[in-house]
Structure 1
Amino acid sequence: MVNGLVSGRLALVTGAGSGIGRAACQVLSREGATVIAADKNYDAALETIKKYTALASGSNATGDHTALELDVSDPKSVQSLLQAVLKEYKTPPRIVVNSAGITRDNWLLKLSEEDYDSVLNVNLKGTFLVMQTFAKAMTEASIAGSIINISSIVGKYGNIGQSNYSASKAGVVAMTQTAAKELGKFNVRVNAILPGFIDTPIVKTVPDKVMHNMLKLVPLGRLGEPTEVAEVITFLSSDKSSFISGAAIDVTGGF
């Protein structure tokens, strides 16, 4: 696409195998970006490229898009990803979307230390490792970049059974705001998005009765679509948001 919002830009999306990450790949490619879909589940990332990203680009071919395996919580995996990107594209991505995330829900009084650690390792440490690694690559290459970190509205208000998840997502916001202050002098913008109840694989595990009560809290009266979050991601990736950095934007239907 010649006139897309992010035409000619290279974009890395973590957690690209499903949900918001997959939708981000779809919308970014529709708007002209070359997409690197990274996920711990390589087959799911590949499916994103073949079934969603290529179609959004108006083609049945994967083109310059690529799928790569990534464990965001493993520093060696993150470094290997950077080297693979530099080898393939000869440049770091201008757009980095940190969408990889997991849940291990339980009551605070029953939550295991293992489940606490695993959620913090992926959601918070993983975001840190990817952001640090690729921001460094951007600054060394003197590239003006945009980093979008996916937090959650529960990072602001908390949620029953999600003390680990809400803590990790609150940390993402604070880290985003700090990174924006540090990276602004390099012309790298950093923003966070706080989705509400979005129709993703994680939400599909919620019992119908609980879901009904959750939707009562949403003034628009429905779940959000992953593409509705992806449109905001793409806006923050583009020059349309050139003076927005350090922001934490709710995408919640008014929750």
Structure 2
Amino acid sequence: MMTGLSGSVVVVTGAGGLIGSAVCSALLREGATVVAQYRNRPPAVPTHVSIQADLTDEDQVRKIFAEARSTVGAPDGCIAAAATWPPNRTAIVDMTTAEWHEHFTANALMTFLTVREFLADVRSRGTGSLVLMGAAAATYGHPGRAHFAASKSAVTFGLLQSLVDEMTALAPRARVNLVAPGSVGTGEPPVVDADDDTAPQSFLALPDPPSADDVASAVVWLLSPRLSGAVTGQVVRVDAGLAGRFRRKVVRDSDLAAAAADGTARS
């Protein structure tokens, strides 16, 4: 199915990451012109424009969009996928102010500055589609990484819903949505004990975690004016049914068999 993205200009932040690179690849396959931002590692695929920039610096964020406008044209779409991920778990009781700022403040600020700059193009062009990147942690939390989870909650709930009306005030058909990935797998078959409730797969309704390509497909769908032109303000969870962790841990096949045997099972 045609997405209508061919020839469109799309800015992708965090393009050097696993998900960011998959998003760039998916957009290129659709014929989009991709402007990729990265901080340390360039995207794994060649894009039309690739810019190294620190998204916590507003002058550098302005430079990304200015370069896009001068080389390939003002962007039609933007994917705000950049984020910092705490490599180690730190309980809040032991967390320093610097650690909090490094992940909560930085993540919220990077998204804000990216969105603000894109909205200037939405206002001047009268159109635009924005896709934010959330996380399953925004809903379920992430013990030891509360600063990351809190930053994604701010984007998923406060920022997303505020932008719905703000964007249509700038352009009647401008849209904003959010993709919330769970833990992204590598695509390799998992090797786990089916009876081990501590294995990552035991927290999912589906047998395998989502891939970066799964997340990218959701991004393309939300960005596309043909596929989701009437969709705005929505959170699309790409997490293999992470809420299923409750069903999987509480209601197991052995439990159902026992309930059926004594007549307490319910259809």
Shorter-chain TM range is: 0.7 to 0.9
- Structure 1 position 212, deviation (Å): 5.4
- Percent of pairs identical after alignment? 25
Query: CA separation in 2, counterparts of 1:189 and 1:217?
Result: 32
Query: Which residue in 2 is equivalent to 1:83?
Result: 66
Query: Which residue in 2 is equivalent to 1:219?
Result: 205
Query: Which residue in 1 is equivalent to 2:222?
Result: 236
What TM-score, normalized to structure 1? 0.84
1:147 lines up with 2:156 in the alignment: no
- How many residues matched? 229
- Structure 1 position 127, deviation (Å): 0.5
Query: Which residue in 2 is equivalent to 1:254?
Result: 241
Query: Which residue in 1 is equivalent to 2:31?
Result: 32
1:182 lines up with 2:166 in the alignment: yes
Query: CA separation in 2, counterparts of 1:17 and 1:192?
Result: 19
Deviations 1:165-206 (A, max 9, x none): 010000011201111121123122111111111127xxxxxx
What TM-score, normalized to structure 2? 0.80
Correspondence 1:52-71 to 2 at 5 A: 65-71=48-54
- Structure 1 position 159, deviation (Å): 1.4
Query: Which residue in 1 is equivalent to 2:75?
Result: 93
Computing the radius of gyration from Cα coordinates, the structure with the larger value is 2
Equivalent residue for 1:165, pick from 148, 154, 175: 148
Equivalent residue for 2:183, pick from 190, 197, 213: 197
**Structure with greater proportional helix content:** 1
Query: CA separation in 1, counterparts of 2:45 and 2:82?
Result: 14
1:137 lines up with 2:135 in the alignment: no
Query: Which residue in 1 is equivalent to 2:249?
Result: none
Query: Which residue in 1 is equivalent to 2:97?
Result: 113
- Paired residue secondary structure (2:203): coil
Query: CA separation in 2, counterparts of 1:135 and 1:113?
Result: 31
Distance of aligned partners of 1:7 and 1:254 in 2 relative to their CA distance in 1, 3 Å threshold: same
Unaligned runs of 5+ in 2: 187-191, 243-267
Deviations 1:3-46 (A, max 9, x none): 554111011100001211110000011011011111112x523x
Amino acid at match of 2:18: G
Deviations 1:51-75 (A, max 9, x none): xx5xxxxxxxxxxx11111211111
- Structure 1 position 211, deviation (Å): 10
Distance of aligned partners of 1:37 and 1:212 in 2 relative to their CA distance in 1, 3 Å threshold: farther
Unaligned runs of 5+ in 1: 54-64, 201-207
Distance of aligned partners of 1:40 and 1:211 in 2 relative to their CA distance in 1, 3 Å threshold: farther
Amino acid at match of 2:85: T
Contact 1:106–1:161 (CA under 8 A) maintained in structure 2: yes
- Structure 1 position 231, deviation (Å): 0.3
Distance of aligned partners of 1:211 and 1:23 in 2 relative to their CA distance in 1, 3 Å threshold: farther
Amino acid at match of 2:45: T
- Structure 1 position 100, deviation (Å): 0.5
Query: Which residue in 2 is equivalent to 1:62?
Result: none
